[in-house]
Amino acid sequence: MVQARTPHIVSVNVGRARARAYAGADRTAIDKRSVTGPVAVRRLGLAGDEQGNTAHHGGPDQAVFAFAREDLDDWARELGGPVRDGLFGENLTTAGIDVNAAEVGERWRVGSTLLELSYVRTPCHVFRSWMEVSGFDGSGWVKRYTRAGRPGVYLRVVEEGELRAGDPIEVVHRPGHGITAAAMFHAINIDRSRLPELLVIDGLATKVRARIDAHLGRQADGRGGAA
């Protein structure tokens, strides 16, 4: 995707965890809403934001979730209706930067914070159900989202601080290994034979390391496979 605008934050979005029928037994905070003014960013995420199911969301490797406005616009065209900032559960709606083409370990200066790309989103049943209650066709949503290969990225907080809508995104470090967020997503969700390629990443997210160890263990037992 060609980016024409200066990279910046379009919207900062937060949500509180609540019990919702569409989430089943889980609590969910996927319904993120835009906030104005500066927002404090701490090691575990944005002030005013929560995670419902902490077994699968949150923690240092998933402190902040970013999704590109350009990708939301593409989904709006495919889904046949407007997709507002925060609808995909993102904390930061970005513009002018292809977040999925960014390298894992890439660092962004945003406001007074320093953020590092650490992980990618894997769609789940709550996301599917949330799309349905938001007025979209959720049938086959997990497969559609996976096929698109543009998952959005999780960021860890290297330096705490504040950020706000309109802040520029400055890429201050690229590790140079060439493993993008899209490549990580592909290895985790589509072709697991490529999981060992992720071992070149310094500071690999704990969940990714666990997937690689499990995959290598299966290979050692003779039960490996591409998927």
Q: What percent of the chain has pLDDT over 70?
A: 92
Q: Furthest-apart CA pair in the chain: how many Å?
A: 55
pLDDT grade, residue 165 (50/70/90)?
very high
Q: Please say if the pLDDT value at position 3 is more than 50.
A: no
* pLDDT, greater one: 54 or 169: 169
The whole-number average pLDDT for the span 204-210 is 96
How much is the CA Rg of the chain, to the nearest whole Å?
17
Report pLDDT for 2.
Answer: 41
The whole-number average pLDDT for the span 12-20 is 90
The whole-number average pLDDT for the span 71-88 is 97
The residue type found at 143 is K
Q: Count the neighbouring beta carbons within 10 Å of the beta carbon of residue 166.
A: 11
Show the DSSP H helices in 139-224 as ranges: 141-148, 181-189, 206-220
Question: DSSP state, 103?
Answer: B
Report pLDDT for 4.
Answer: 53
Q: How far apart, in whole angstroms, are the C-alpha atoms of residue 92 and residue 50?
A: 14
Q: What percent of the chain has pLDDT over 90?
A: 81
Q: Please say if the pLDDT value at position 207 is more than 90.
A: yes
pLDDT grade, residue 54 (50/70/90)?
low
Which among 159, 157, 125 has a CA at the least distance from the CA of 139? 125
Report pLDDT for 142.
Answer: 95
Q: How far apart, in whole angstroms, are the C-alpha atoms of residue 116 and residue 70?
A: 21
Which among 209, 204, 13, 171 has a CA at the least distance from the CA of 104? 204
Report pLDDT for 27.
Answer: 82
Q: Please say if the pLDDT value at position 79 is more than 50.
A: yes
Q: Please say if the pLDDT value at position 203 is more than 50.
A: yes
Per-residue pLDDT tens digits for 86-115: 999 999 999 999 999 999 999 999 999 999
Q: Please say if the pLDDT value at position 166 is more than 90.
A: yes
pTM: 0.92
Q: How far apart, in whole angstroms, are the C-alpha atoms of residue 150 and residue 197?
A: 19
The whole-number average pLDDT for the span 197-210 is 96
Report pLDDT for 87.
Answer: 97
Report pLDDT for 223.
Answer: 60
The CATH number given to 8-177 is: 2.40.33.20
Q: Lowest-confidence range among 55-69, 112-126, 171-185, 190-204?
A: 55-69
